[in-house]
Amino acid sequence: MITIGITGGIGSGKSVVSRILLTLGIPVYDSDSRAKWLNDHSPVVRQALTGLIGSDLYENGILRRDRLAAAIFSSGDLLEQVNGIIHPEVKKDFCQWRSECESDLCAIESAILFSSGFNSLCDTVIRVDAPEKIRQERAMARDGSSAETMRQRMLSQEREQSLAKAGADHTVLNAPPHLLVPQVVRIIETVRTKRPNPPDRL
């Protein structure tokens, strides 16, 4: 099975590309939503996070994300430790999901594909891009955030975006006059064409 990574900055249109792949019959793993699910339901994650931050991090069995964010904000090195807990569990969850896929291709969508190391699970990576102004406008309309809040979020992603720009195999442009669907379809055709042939059976 060939694994495709999908990444891009906020407002770039990663989820749109994921939906295109789904319409092409390619299953897509949403690492962000699965990470949130694991934060709430994985005993391994819960035990490690409460051990690191405190038992009041969970309320009625659900992670209080505001408390986690406050703890990370108050400690410079805590984010790396939290990621060190969550990312390995997401990788395990993805590998289990992938083993159950009945398809020649599958994909994983992640805004932090490279900094998390998830790119090591991929055979090829698609980076979704758009001009910064368009990305900001899209994200503000979607999230209802202020321009300053969105600017800070985009600044926080600069390192990841540099890694993605250097490491991605394909880039699709999700802004006029570029049409997104034909770009994605061409990449999938290329990936399938370059797929190694199975060995001859004796």
For the annotated binding site for ATP, the residues are 11-16
What is d(CA 144, CA 1) in angstroms, rounded to the nearest whole number?
39
Q: Helices 43-53 and 78-99, interaxial angle, to 10°?
A: 180
Q: What is the b/e burial string over 135-148, where b = at least 16 CB atoms within 10 angstroms of the residue's CB? A: bbebbbeeeebeee
E strand or H helix that includes residue 67 = helix 65-74
Judge contact between 46 and 167, C-beta under 8 A.
no
Radius of gyration (Cα) for the chain, nearest Å? 18
Judge contact between 105 and 191, C-beta under 8 A.
yes
Would you list the DSSP string of 113-167?
Answer: TTTTTGGGG-SEEEEEE--HHHHHHHHHHHH---HHHHHHHHHHTHHHHHHHHHH
Strands 62-63 and 170-173: unpaired
Which positions make up the binding site? 11-16
